[in-house]
Structure 1
Amino acid sequence: MRKTIILCAALMSSLAFSQTKTDSIQLDPQKQINAAQRLLSGNYASAVTVGAYGEMLYNQPNGQNGELDVQRLVLLFGYRFDDRTQFVTEVEFEHVEEVYIEQAFVNYNAAPNFNVRGGLMLVPMGIINEFHEPTTFNGTERPTIDNVIVPTTWRELGVGVTGRFNAISLGYQAYVFNGFKSTEADGEGGVNGKLGGSSGLRGGRQKGIKSTINTPNLSTKLDYYGIPGLRLGFSTYFGRTQADDDVQEFDGSDIGIAMFGLDARYAYQKFTARGQFIHASLSDTEEYNTLTNSNLGSALQGWYLEGAYNILPMGNRQKLFAFARYETYNTHADVAGNLTKNEAYDRTDVTTGLTYHIAPGVVVKGDYQFRSNADDDSDVTDRLNFGIGVWF
């Protein structure tokens, strides 16, 4: 028992000295980094680094009972083997009942502004999939487009390169990943589909869990930061979905994907703004829907615009942002064959509220969402949300 106590004390002591330093609230999008980038930044006191971020939310749909939830708690661990080689991992607990590995990769700095990475990594599409720590975005919930069009948190196994061309203010990322899993055998000689009309590609994420691969997929992103306060992103993703060995010969077992995204973030004094556009073209969906009895659309598309203003004086350590976001997204932007567009999948959310940074790394949020869709016979419930987020 005494040895156990001594061991625990030594471990806690080592972690205390290996914590990453607390960052101030960084509003300049050109200087913002996510959790993995922070562990890789060299801002540590020893080879071992630790951190975490988490969100506790309250959602109250109109006319229904509210829900309280520890939506996620993510533990961050990093290790520096030498000046060029590092390992980063994120362990995520969702709703206090599910455990996932969100990231786990080795980063090798092969040359200045040139890194080689391999492992379980985030697909660089849009803003939120890479920058989803609760202190980095307005709104209790992440933008819905980053749930049904970009299936955040979207991560897969692969290998790639990343770095910057500082002379032209351009950052780059390029990866080869395994793709979405579209079908699997149902055990009775049939085929189950994992993709659908309402949720798009989300059900096909493999998340590094015994992932199937028969055709690799290519993901790229360019970030331009040559104008003060402005960061522009252009993302692409091309490839095909994956299927189990015993069903991949069926016509329609997989589909083709061509996705691209444009995003922008801007900050000037007390004002910040961001916007995003995502379009995905899916091929062979008619055959896929016939095989799986699904209603997957042949095009997914969405966009949003958001503006925020800090109500408190510029010199204050705390910040209180009033914000508004308009987003529209459609998982039946187009359909193939005899499939009829479902107007309920053409959705619009208007979110307005407050984001209160009470200390670096601690945020309290409250907002109201006006939600609707294009189907006159469908009723979408508006929602009141509150939340607490931390990141250290």
Structure 2
Amino acid sequence: MRNLTILALLLVTSFNMAQTANDSISVDPQLQQNAAQRILSGNYGKAVTIGAYGEINYNQPEGDNGELDVQRLVVLLGYKFNEKTQFVSEIEFEHVEEVFVEQAFVNYAVSDNLSLRGGLMLVPMGIVNEFHEPTTFNGVERPAVDNSIVPTTWREIGVGVTGRFPDASLGYQAYIFNGFKSTVSDGEGGATGFLSGSSGLRGGRQKGIQSTIDSPTFSTKLDYYGIPGLRLGLSGYFGRTQAEDDVEILDGADIGIAMVGVDARYGYQRFTARGQFIYASLNDTEAYNNLTGRDLGSALQGYYIEGAYNLLPLTAKQRLFAFARYENYDTHADTEGGLVRNDAYNRTDITTGLSYHIAPGVVLKGDYQFRDNNVENGDVDDRLNFGIGVWF
């Protein structure tokens, strides 16, 4: 009850704050851009572009101490060599102490509707993996589907093409990437595995860090924007995981992956909605588990649906979205061999809260999460979250 009272007070306080400029992020999903797209869309007439986004969050699990964290600070650097050639990079500081390169690629515009790309890039799967700047999504934390099923932030090294078919109102992306790393030698003739039942593929992301590659993977996405206010996406990712030289000949050292996703975003006046469904079929997981001692499932599945409404008038310079999101995600949607499905991996989250855009590129967030799994009397703590997000 105390947590719900705090959330209610946040709502009341929000109405009393001063009005400032409109948020720079469009409600219309057809006009939304992520950080890389903003750099590539002209660099505001400058050769060098510098920006950043970041999140400072407070998480309070029920019955436990709360945690304050500078979850991430990402520095954006872009350079325009000429009218056709640009460089985009994102340097990420996580939890104050970890440093990663999130993106680093060259974009060459062959024509208005066709570009070639090469470097460290985001895998186009679902919504949040590409649109994860804190002012672009509701909720303090990213949807759990985009953590456990789509291992956001998911980026790998590759080459590909991107562009549009304007007459068909269709955008496209197609890339060849290195894949997930599944195993390394354990020094005793066996292998240590990075993939697991609880976190799925997340532990296998190589992130461009001395990435090993044995067989490339293929990633593609189509976006349809022919209906006003609506954006539809269809994603696919296909290939096998990568194993180091010392273990790649072992049975079960790598697995096959076929992942597909559909997503939708809609915006009309003060109402927005979004949803997505992701399914991944994994092959040879029985041999992988026998080799590594892991409990990787043979299928991952997750979906969510979310609605939000701006409580302030359209004439106001600020926006205050009340939202609710329902999501279900299961990293043991299916299993192979004698592995029994673990119902603790079949999880449901209901998140409801507020996103208050107080100025262009600044959002204050608060939400409460009702969390559960498919185990009777499963021990999953509900959680209260508050956060500050910026993007410029």
Q: Which residue of 2 aligns with 1:275?
A: 275
Query: Does structure 1 residue 254 correspond to structure 2 residue 254?
Result: yes
The 10-residue stretch of structure 1 (268-277 or 185-194) with the greater mean CA deviation from structure 2:
185-194
Determine if contact 2:265/2:273 at 8 Å carries over to the other structure.
Answer: yes
Q: Which residue of 2 aligns with 1:334?
A: 334
Listed one character per residue, the Cα deviations across residues 99-147 of structure 1 (whole Å, up to 9, x for unaligned) are: 0000000000012200000000000000000000000000000000000
Separation of aligned partners in 2, 1:148 and 1:250: 27
Separation of aligned partners in 1, 2:377 and 2:307: 32
Listed one character per residue, the Cα deviations across residues 309-330 of structure 1 (whole Å, up to 9, x for unaligned) are: 0000111110000000000000
Long gaps (5+) in structure 2: 1-21
Q: Which residue of 2 aligns with 1:162?
A: 162
The 10-residue stretch of structure 1 (43-52 or 91-100) with the greater mean CA deviation from structure 2:
43-52
* Runs of 4+ that moved beyond 4 A: none
Aligned ranges for residues 1-392 of structure 1 at < 5 Å? 24-392=24-392
Question: Which SS does the other structure have where 1:323 is aligned?
Answer: strand
Question: Which SS does the other structure have where 2:44 is aligned?
Answer: coil
State the 1:189 CA deviation: 2.8
- Relative to 1, partners in 2 of residues 1:190 and 1:377: Cα closer, same or farther, differing over 3 Å? farther
Structure 2 letter corresponding to 1:230: L
State the 1:23 CA deviation: 7.0
State the 1:376 CA deviation: 1.0
Separation of aligned partners in 2, 1:286 and 1:210: 28
Structure 1 letter corresponding to 2:139: G
Question: Which SS does the other structure have where 2:69 is aligned?
Answer: strand
Separation of aligned partners in 1, 2:292 and 2:378: 26
Q: Which residue of 2 aligns with 1:8?
A: none
State the 1:170 CA deviation: 0.1
TM-score for the superposition, normalised by structure 2: 0.94
State the 1:24 CA deviation: 1.9
Separation of aligned partners in 2, 1:81 and 1:320: 40
Listed one character per residue, the Cα deviations across residues 226-271 of structure 1 (whole Å, up to 9, x for unaligned) are: 0000000000000000000000000000000000000000001100
Structure 2 letter corresponding to 1:143: P
Larger relative contact order, structure 1 or 2 (CA cutoff 8 Å, min sep 6): 2
Listed one character per residue, the Cα deviations across residues 281-315 of structure 1 (whole Å, up to 9, x for unaligned) are: 00000000000000000000000000000000111
State the 1:377 CA deviation: 4.5
Structure 2 letter corresponding to 1:76: L
Separation of aligned partners in 1, 2:330 and 2:179: 22
RMSD of aligned residue pairs (Cα, Å):
0.9
Q: Which residue of 2 aligns with 1:9?
A: none
The 10-residue stretch of structure 1 (183-192 or 313-322) with the greater mean CA deviation from structure 2:
183-192
Listed one character per residue, the Cα deviations across residues 24-66 of structure 1 (whole Å, up to 9, x for unaligned) are: 2311000100000000000424200010000000000000000
- Relative to 1, partners in 2 of residues 1:23 and 1:372: Cα closer, same or farther, differing over 3 Å? closer
Separation of aligned partners in 1, 2:237 and 2:129: 14
Listed one character per residue, the Cα deviations across residues 69-127 of structure 1 (whole Å, up to 9, x for unaligned) are: 00000000000000000000000000000000000000000122000000000000000
Separation of aligned partners in 2, 1:336 and 1:305: 29
Separation of aligned partners in 2, 1:23 and 1:44: 18
Separation of aligned partners in 2, 1:179 and 1:45: 36
Listed one character per residue, the Cα deviations across residues 164-185 of structure 1 (whole Å, up to 9, x for unaligned) are: 1111100000000000000001
State the 1:367 CA deviation: 0.1
Long gaps (5+) in structure 1: 1-21
Amino-acid identity (%): 74
Separation of aligned partners in 1, 2:238 and 2:212: 17
Question: Which SS does the other structure have where 1:25 is aligned?
Answer: coil
Q: Which residue of 2 aligns with 1:12?
A: none
Determine if contact 2:43/2:49 at 8 Å carries over to the other structure.
Answer: no
Question: Which SS does the other structure have where 1:44 is aligned?
Answer: helix
TM-score for the superposition, normalised by structure 1: 0.94
